[in-house]
Chain A
Amino acid sequence: MGRPGFVLEVDERTPPLLIHEGDGFRLERLPLGSQVIYPPESLPGIVDLDGAIRRALLHPHGSDPLPRLLRRGMRLTIVFDDLSLPLPPMRTPDVRQRVIEQVLEMAATAGVDDVELIAANSLHRRMTPAELKRTVGERVFRAFHPGHLRNHDAEDPDDLAHLGTTAHGEDVEINRRAAESDLLIYVNITLTAMNGGSKSVTVGLASYASLRHHHNVHTLRHSRSFNDPPNSAMHHSYDRMADLIGGQVPVFTIETTLNNEPFPSALRFLTRREWEWNLTDQASYLAVKRSNELAGPKLRRRIWQATEAPYGVTGVHAGAPSLVHPHTLAAVHRQQLTEVSGQADVAIFGLPYICPYNVNSIMNPILVMSLGLGYFFNLYRGRPIVRQGGVVIFYHPVPHEFHPVHHPSYIDFYELLAETTDPVMLETKYEKQFATDPWYIHLYRTSYAYHGVHPFYMWYWGAHAMQHLSDVIFVGGNRSTTARLGFRAASSLADALELARDTVGADPAITYLHAPPMVLADVR
């Protein structure tokens, strides 16, 4: 059994602590008295995973066993989370493959012929055939691709169904095949508390017309945090939409949760507490760091992107979405929740090389912002880790680089930031133009590009943090790109604290969130 998460107070005994910075990492000596939030140690994965999946399918929450829901002649649609989950991609066989295979075995036994598999990629880029094969496995891929294993297309008017509007006037438009199925089975991986539940179908299979009701500045500024569904306006919107969908389409969901093992054994030092590093860990740190630095940016990226996480599965729950998700959230909290007392003046985050939108791709400056002020800032429950008017210090080089195939609209969006970085201004003035641009839509549908509106969503992701903070500083950040994003760059932590001094004084309370692995701060 892993040890729980805890808050370290840096004293004179504390060795330098590991901080991620893009596709690198460093050791940093934090000021005495700083708080460091450590995630709980990894929980053991389920040994008999196939058995656990089978039990979940045969004894679901609030539903008949899956075999009883399957019948000859039915339209069955199996939808699964796309490549944005988990991070890093998990070692094969992916848990989605193992779930889908068992579902299909039951469907085959029941004599179901009309089966369609859809990746719930929403406005993300399409998954390549290789990525699809990696996710669902060889057998499923060979049996269904390309005719019946495909990506969701949020811009195909023939394959979208408008199911109605919620009481709040929110359009609910999702994938037509899914909406018109006799049974919709959703196979999910819940990596953080924001995933899964109502979000799965309402976001993964939605169109822009539907997404704009919750992916907007107002909603995100009232999602505090979006990793705490009861206090997230975004999740309230998802719930309303899910209720509407649930009234028309029978949904059977299978949610899985993972433990805290995102790195292979050669990188074990990344997940160990620094004072417990033995000589092997120290030698690995030195060897990996030096070779990483010698590798050069392209090779470095390729190596990191090839990293597969040896995640263990901590829970499999199936059944009615609203009844399954509380069990899933409990499992996530068991693995990630760490109690923290009080807010800090300065929060420090080390941003890693990967976020949901640069798998097999490049982390561009807008994604860096979204990872930092969106995902990391929102890794809290209760109150933000840093107080209102506080300062956040990120570690990331913020290089000026974009993937021209995956992120074409990001390149143009980056130019808009020269005019304004205000999310409301960007939303009102430019969102629609980008969202409806025919070229971006063409690239989204036929190439492997994120939707034209996606960079806006990334920017909104940080809207709450931008409103909350008085300053954002990137240690080691490229000066021109950080300036374009509206932030500041510092060459060292000491410089960053010096820059923050005007705002938070000379002796600020500092909290460093030691992640990855994932941790959710329960700030009291």
Chain B
Amino acid sequence: MSGLRDELRLLRYGRDWRGRARVPRSARRWEPPETAEDFPTAWARGPVASALRAALQQGVLKPVVWSQTRPEVHGREYLEGVRGPTIFIANHSSHLDTPLVLGALPPRITKKLAVGAAADYFFDSRAIAAATTLLFNAFPVERRGSRRGRSLAAELVDDGWSLLLYPEGSRTADGWLSAFKLGAAQLCAMKRVPAVPIALRGTFAAMPRGRRWPQPGRPQVSVRIGRPLHLGKTETVPEFRTRLVRAVATLWAEEDLGWYRAMRAGADGTLALPTGSRSVLPTNDTSQPGPSPDASSWRRIWEATRSPSGDDPREVWTD
């Protein structure tokens, strides 16, 4: 047994959790060209895989996540009127985000929901790609404009699927919001479908990049779902993107300011965006939340790793 353990250790040496090793510097010029093949995902949207996925999500994934963290879900009632394909957009700072959103959304939505996943991260290894596709109904999204096939997103919307997308393109490095790419807004405009903003707080603190399991102690996380937003008749795609960013920022600020004050600040245009190292949008307000983008990176990370409810122990007795 120790032989096997040693062997595994040697095999794992220098590889990440997906089993990928970094390319030695002297081998970089001999890296193979990217293949143009996309991992097939259609099988995961069939009835058998869908049923299996629903069972796994509700029977395994949600109980595990809910047992390891303390999720608070707000705004589920806004989804009552949502019918047909919808684009759910959320900020992204942790691998916990997708399981949390899937657990927070009602099953009638999740059973018809596909999740955009980074093609270069989740779809490089066939084993990981298959597992991701089955469990999350994931489809590959290109985030660096490579030569791979075009995104499936538009086709999926045409087929009646709702999508969960992370417009930042990647998990943030410091827990704060980074710039939204245009893709999600573009898709809403192209297919005339609503976007539902979602703000996730506490997931960076609970399980940041590099961690494979949530921090011990059931850290608190929150999922705040906003009202569906529709593209205005005269609104351009960049303007809609700005609206989406502000909607997510408002939901984000609810955690600190409360629902009404956050909404007021948003309406007044005084809401500062919870930006990370790069500014998301120009703002003239410095009231809150978090450190300014100019703050040093350790301060941004320090703030971002603060649990939404503070570090105090959970109250057992309440009045």
Residue B46 interfacial (CB < 8 Å): no
Residue A274 interfacial (CB < 8 Å): yes
Write 8 A-B pairs (CB below 8 A) sorted by A numbering.
A3-B32, A7-B26, A13-B25, A277-B19, A278-B19, A278-B20, A282-B15, A282-B19
When the two chains form their complex, are residues A3 and B30 in contact, meaning their CB atoms are under 8 A apart? yes
When the two chains form their complex, are residues B126 and A280 in contact, meaning their CB atoms are under 8 A apart? yes
When the two chains form their complex, are residues A13 and B14 in contact, meaning their CB atoms are under 8 A apart? yes
Closest chain-B Cβ to A31's Cβ sits at a distance in Å of 14
- Taking CB atoms, residues of chain A closer than 8 Å to B4 are 286, 290
Top-8 shortest CB links A-B: A275-B21, A9-B26, A13-B22, A15-B21, A15-B14, A14-B24, A279-B127, A279-B19
- Taking CB atoms, residues of chain B closer than 8 Å to A16 are 10-11, 13-14
- Complex Cα distance A279/B128, Å? 9
Residue A498 interfacial (CB < 8 Å): no
Residue A285 interfacial (CB < 8 Å): yes
Closest chain-A Cβ to B25's Cβ sits at a distance in Å of 5
- Taking CB atoms, residues of chain A closer than 8 Å to B309 are none
Residue B36 interfacial (CB < 8 Å): no
- Taking CB atoms, residues of chain A closer than 8 Å to B7 are 27, 286, 289-290
- Complex Cα distance A312/B26, Å? 29
Residue of A9, A277, A278 touching B24 (CB-CB under 8 A)? A9
Closest chain-A Cβ to B61's Cβ sits at a distance in Å of 21
- Taking CB atoms, residues of chain B closer than 8 Å to A14 are 14, 21, 24
Q: Which of A9, A27, A273 has the most CB of B within 10 A?
A: A273
- Taking CB atoms, residues of chain A closer than 8 Å to B20 are 278
- Taking CB atoms, residues of chain A closer than 8 Å to B125 are 278-279
- Taking CB atoms, residues of chain A closer than 8 Å to B14 are 13-16
Closest chain-A Cβ to B9's Cβ sits at a distance in Å of 10
Closest chain-A Cβ to B27's Cβ sits at a distance in Å of 5
- Give the residue name and chain of the A residue nearest to B18 (CB): A279
B side interface size, CB within 8 A: 26
- Give the residue name and chain of the B residue nearest to A274 (CB): B21
- Complex Cα distance A431/B89, Å? 83
When the two chains form their complex, are residues A10 and B24 in contact, meaning their CB atoms are under 8 A apart? yes
- Give the residue name and chain of the B residue nearest to A289 (CB): B7
When the two chains form their complex, are residues A15 and B13 in contact, meaning their CB atoms are under 8 A apart? yes
- Give the residue name and chain of the A residue nearest to B8 (CB): A286
Residue A243 interfacial (CB < 8 Å): no
- Complex Cα distance A110/B288, Å? 96
- Taking CB atoms, residues of chain B closer than 8 Å to A285 are 11
- Taking CB atoms, residues of chain A closer than 8 Å to B11 are 16, 27, 282, 285-286
Closest chain-A Cβ to B275's Cβ sits at a distance in Å of 33
When the two chains form their complex, are residues A11 and B19 in contact, meaning their CB atoms are under 8 A apart? no
Within 8 A of A (CB), among B1-60: 3-4, 7-8, 10-11, 13-15, 18-27, 30, 32
- Complex Cα distance A278/B130, Å? 14
- Complex Cα distance A76/B103, Å? 80
- Taking CB atoms, residues of chain B closer than 8 Å to A286 are 4, 7-8, 11
- Complex Cα distance A289/B13, Å? 17
Closest chain-A Cβ to B36's Cβ sits at a distance in Å of 16
Residue A304 interfacial (CB < 8 Å): no
Closest chain-B Cβ to A388's Cβ sits at a distance in Å of 26
- Complex Cα distance A73/B18, Å? 68
When the two chains form their complex, are residues B24 and A13 in contact, meaning their CB atoms are under 8 A apart? yes
- Complex Cα distance A279/B126, Å? 8
Closest chain-B Cβ to A265's Cβ sits at a distance in Å of 15
Cβ proximity bits A270-308 to B, threshold 8 Å, 1 near / 0 not: 000111111110100110011001000000000000000
Residue of B3, B23, B128 touching A13 (CB-CB under 8 A)? B23
- Complex Cα distance A401/B296, Å? 68
Closest chain-B Cβ to A293's Cβ sits at a distance in Å of 8
When the two chains form their complex, are residues B22 and A275 in contact, meaning their CB atoms are under 8 A apart? yes
When the two chains form their complex, are residues A280 and B127 in contact, meaning their CB atoms are under 8 A apart? yes
- Give the residue name and chain of the B residue nearest to A29 (CB): B13
- Complex Cα distance A18/B127, Å? 23
- Give the residue name and chain of the B residue nearest to A275 (CB): B21
When the two chains form their complex, are residues B21 and A27 in contact, meaning their CB atoms are under 8 A apart? no
When the two chains form their complex, are residues B27 and A8 in contact, meaning their CB atoms are under 8 A apart? yes
When the two chains form their complex, are residues B10 and A8 in contact, meaning their CB atoms are under 8 A apart? no
**Given A276-B32, A279-B125, A11:B25 Cβ within 8 A:** yes
- Complex Cα distance A9/B30, Å? 13
Closest chain-A Cβ to B131's Cβ sits at a distance in Å of 10
- Give the residue name and chain of the A residue nearest to B25 (CB): A11
- Complex Cα distance A15/B9, Å? 11
